[in-house]
Amino acid sequence: EVQLVESGGGLVQPGGSLRLSCAASGFTFSSYWMSWVRQAPGKGLEWVANIKQDGSEKYYVDSVKGRFTISRDNAKNSLYLQMNSLRAEDTAVYYCALERWDTAMVFDYWGQGTLVTVSS
Amino acid sequence: IQLTQSPSSLSASVGDRVTITCRASQGISSYLAWYQQKPGKAPKLLIYAASTLQSGVPSRFSGSGSGTDFTLTISSLQPEDFATYYCQQLNSYPPTFGPGTKVDIK
């Protein structure tokens, strides 16, 4: 059974940093693209970033470029999102998502999400 | 690529046929997916490639369309279908989602 478990969320002040983690199990992690998708409270879904199987390609939404870094450790079956220079508008539930093997950017499985709150 | 959905919300009864529309700001071929989200839960993939049903999803869900206009149809609404539905384009980076359509009980 595919499982994605996010952690690392919490309350942080504007300008601060946070590192999210996603522990994956139940599939061959190193064979799949992985994404982060976020959802501000009461709002819709926004894709944040994704990373290729070997980490050689990474893509970001414009609003986080230069501030967020996606990475992965295939030996630990883990996905990460380093978030720096956080802003109030980054407040959201952050989901780790597994992309389909045959169709990039289709999110097959999702974690339960971790809440990031940026506030003073 | 911007996506719009209509309606933004609707009220329906169990057994009703429900249709949700998604329109893209430019042609995206069949690179469209649909998700269902219930309150406090992660989204769930329903349909991808505009009309391919994800494994395990009931056959009352169907998708159609290509280019710029797409529809999600629920042929006979069930109690567990009351949720918010999002379309998503995967034609080009960044993948984007529609604003959602909330389906609630009439």
- What are the pLDDT digits (tens) for A34-54? 999 999 999 999 999 999 999
Residues β-bridged to residue B24: B3
- What are the pLDDT digits (tens) for B31-56? 999 999 999 999 999 999 999 999 99
CA distance B85 to A93: 18
**Is A96 in contact with A8 (CB distance < 8 Å)?**
no
Residues of chain A with pLDDT under 70: none
Q: Give the number of A-B residue pairs with CB atoms closer than 8 Å.
A: 51
In chain B, the percentage of residues whose pLDDT exceeds 90 is 98
**Is B11 in contact with B101 (CB distance < 8 Å)?**
no
Q: B29: how many CB neighbours lie within 10 A of its CB?
A: 14
Provide mean pLDDT across the span B6-26.
97
Residues β-bridged to residue B97: B88
CA distance A35 to A28: 15
Interchain CB distance below 8 Å, B94 and A113: no
CB < 8 Å to B94, chain A: 47, 59-62
Say what the pLDDT of residue A54 is.
96
CB < 8 Å to B44, chain A: 110
Confidence of residue B3 (pLDDT cuts 50, 70, 90): very high
CA distance A20 to A8: 5
Task: State the virtual CA torsion across A24, A69, B87, B74 in degrees, nearest 10.
Answer: 20
Provide mean pLDDT across the span B61-88.
97
Q: Which of B35, B42, B98 sits opposite A113 (nearest CB)?
A: B42
Question: Is A8 strand, coil or helix?
Answer: coil
CA distance B36 to B74: 12
Which strands make up the sheet holding A3-7, listed edge to edge? A3-7, A18-25, A78-83, A68-73
- For A25-59, the DSSP string reads ESS-GGGS-EEEEEE-TTS-EEEEEEE-TTSS-EE
Interchain CB distance below 8 Å, A107 and B44: no
**Is A101 in contact with A5 (CB distance < 8 Å)?**
no
Given phi > 0 = left and psi -120 to 50 = alpha, else beta, which region is A10?
left
Mutate to test the interface with A, among B90, B91, B102 (most CBs of A within 10 A): B90
